[in-house]
Amino acid sequence: MTNGIVTLKEVRHDPRVQTYITRANDQMKSIGYTEHGHRHSGIVSTIARYILTTLGQDSRQAEVAAIAGYLHDMGCVVNRVGHVEAGAIMAYDILTKMNMPCDEIATVVGAIGNHEEPNGEPISRESAAVIIADKSDVHFTRVQNPDTTKFDIHDRVNHAVQKSYLRVDAEAKTIKLELEINDEHASVTEYFEIFVLRMVLCRRAADFLGCKFGLEINGVKL
C-alpha cells in the first residue's frame, strides 16, 4: 500500500485472491460453466474502470470499481449458488486485512453483492459499472467445454460471439454493447433467451449512471 491506499495491483497479486479465483474457475469448469477465472476478472475490472473514467468520475472511484470488478466472482470458489454473498464476505475479510478504508470496503462488497440478476441492483456508480462490465464479457474464449456436441445454450451463445466491445459515449450519454455473432453457432433469439434479464439489469445500471444502454448485434441496433 501507498499512503494507506489499496490498489488494484496489490489486490491482483494477493496470494489469497490468486488462489481463490483460480479455484473458483476450476469449480465452474468442473460443472460445465463458462470461464470465471483471471481472464474474466481482468476484463470486468478493466471495463468497470473504463466506464467510470470515460464518464468523468475521479480516478480513485474508478480504481475501487476496478477492484470490485476483479473480485466479483471470487465466491464461486464456494458454490455458484450464493456466490455473490460468499464473494462479498471473502472480499471484506481480505480488504480489511489490507487496511482498506471501511467506506471503500462497503462500496466493494456492495458491488459484488449486487452484480447478479435477478436480485442485483445498481446501488452506487461502482456497482453499476461492475454490472455492465460483467454482462459485457460475452465471447467465444469463455467457453471451457472442449466437446461442441455437449454445448448448452450458454456455451453456444458465447461460442457464437466473435467480437464484443462496450462503447461508452460521455457526450451522448450512451453505453452500447456491440457484438458480432456467427449465427451458424447460435441465433440472436438464443442470445436473448438467456441474456434478457442481464440486459434489463444493464439498462438499470446505465440509468443509474445517467446514460442509456443499447445493444447492437451484427451492426443492427436492437
Please give the tally of structural domains in the chain: 1
Instruction: Say if residue 81 is exposed, middle or buried (CB neighbours under 10 Å; 0-12, 13-18, 19+).
Output: exposed
Amino acid residing at 137? D
Which residue has cell 472480499?
A: 91
pLDDT at 159 > cutoff 90: no
The answer to whether residue 1 is domain-embedded is no
Torsion 38-43-46-48 (CA) sign: negative
Domain hosting 199: range is 8-221
| Residue 35 located in a structural domain | yes
Going by C-alpha positions, the residue among 92, 85, 150 that lies closest to residue 116 is: 85
Assess if residue 2 is contained within a domain.
no
pLDDT at 87: 98
Binned at pLDDT 50, 70 and 90, residue 3 comes out as low
Q: What is the pTM of this model?
A: 0.94
As a whole-number percent, the residues of the chain with pLDDT over 70 amount to 98
Residue 94 covered by a domain: yes
Task: Give the torsion sign (CA, 153, 204, 127, 222).
Answer: positive
CATH number of the domain within which 213 lies? 1.10.3210
149: its cell numbers: 456436441
| pLDDT confidence bin for 152, thresholds 50/70/90 | confident
**Residue 119 maps to a domain:** yes
Q: 61 pLDDT exceeds 60?
A: yes
Q: Is residue 3 part of a domain?
A: no
